[in-house]
Structure 1
């Protein structure tokens, strides 16, 4: 564990945990904020900044982000950003844009960074972040001259993340569609089912399923990308309409719920299962259990974000996982 900032009084501390892949902001020894990350091809991919609810509104997210970016600048490490809070920080502190990888900026758009632009709801920002992350996973999956095993792992990551995104947005957005035209809702749901089918074909083609060997891998990816582009357009229209229709407090809560629900959604596509209503919600929960079991049996790589909790952070759990315990001098 590396200390990035210490006020020497022990009251404010920012640390980097390379093993668990997150930054921590501590006040009086209590963890009040985190920013998760992963390293890909020499760049640091920033995930989500979270501040404890009772500590929000005090500028702590800005403090954490500033310390993290200062450290990355010092090390000469570029970032791909998928955190709305980091994106807002960059827009108001354009001098820090030099830390962003121009080839893979993530959700941060260099063309609009120095422009004020229209106000963006929390839901719009969250969705833009999710779309950018999906695109980044696609790029990694389709990278040329990549060993077959690595390519399959990256494709698995993309398929799992996309499946979770589709399941979470189906449940949350459609339940708040409200005054959205029936045609838009039908088109959105139809696109989701088609995209889920294409993800199943992609996985089958990558792993040599005889039903799909007659299809070229590039052809399969072309279909996935076409449907993904349609999905982004339909989803952006729907989130914009929801942001206009509901109070911003509700919209912000919906954005936070979306990110949390995605972590608990099925990691595989199930296009033939019910998608809407109580039956659809129940089916997704059952598939989540089944998918998690299948993933464990296959040793499949799926997206996972570390969440602190007392049981998992016990000394015994650290022993089993081989991770350092807070305060262990040997880990700093």
Structure 2
């Protein structure tokens, strides 16, 4: 006589019922939604560098696959039951190909991550090159505008005539006419102030924006004035810090009257040059434009820094610093426009692109 044992209701798993399956699916959906929401927010808070964000996103994707795989394994064991009488020899033969497949998947994923990071770095370098070109052109345009202003004044023969009348005291109106014209120039939005130097470098007149009646000028300005008198060309000086602690970029224009008088045009870098360098064309938590020059065995920062409290001209770093990005560029170890890997003024690993500003030592 053949008999068959019918399963009792008490042995039936809850997960085999439609309601149980729906509950499992609902729990999985809720878990997946929370994972995506919270993990993306965590990555956005913890990382700002695009390469780090790409790597973190890949790793959290792996973690999601691992966790859901474990949950699926547990669910399938529960659905199939723990029947010890089932043959397991066939399952054992699957371990080797399964292991090889897992290694292959891990290798392909690692290669994909490496390729993705490499492409991301190439895109960032291309972006840095474009920004470096843009900043260089903007700085050059600003300098050219100021030089044009100074050359225009230098070629004004009427100013030279007014100065000659003032110096020779033949016509009393020469001084007032000269000052009147200079005050008109001083209203130019790109200028901070004006100063007229006599043949002996004595300030004969200062605009109202100039500080104090001090008749002394800095050694840097005196040297630049001598060079301007020597060749009759407009000279640029700075950025430099005057005796009052103010940062200037000066343009020294010889008047057409001869080798004697000079007009010094003070340009305030805080009104245009420094804001120009601060402006970053794309959102970035770490991007920064630095204006540097070599001073003997030192690298000097000329502008305001994003991650340091030192004022312009206030940060000096050794030129011999092997991995300092700016030092590498100033030592000529990297070609203009090529990516440089090194550390910044904080000692943090960075990648940068340098461009020389034409007509300057910047």
TM-score (norm 2): 0.25
Q: Per residue, is there more helix in 1 or in 2?
A: 1
Task: With a CA cutoff of 8 Å and minimum separation of 6, indicate the structure with the bigger relative contact order.
Answer: 1
TM-score (norm 1): 0.26
| Higher Rg | 2
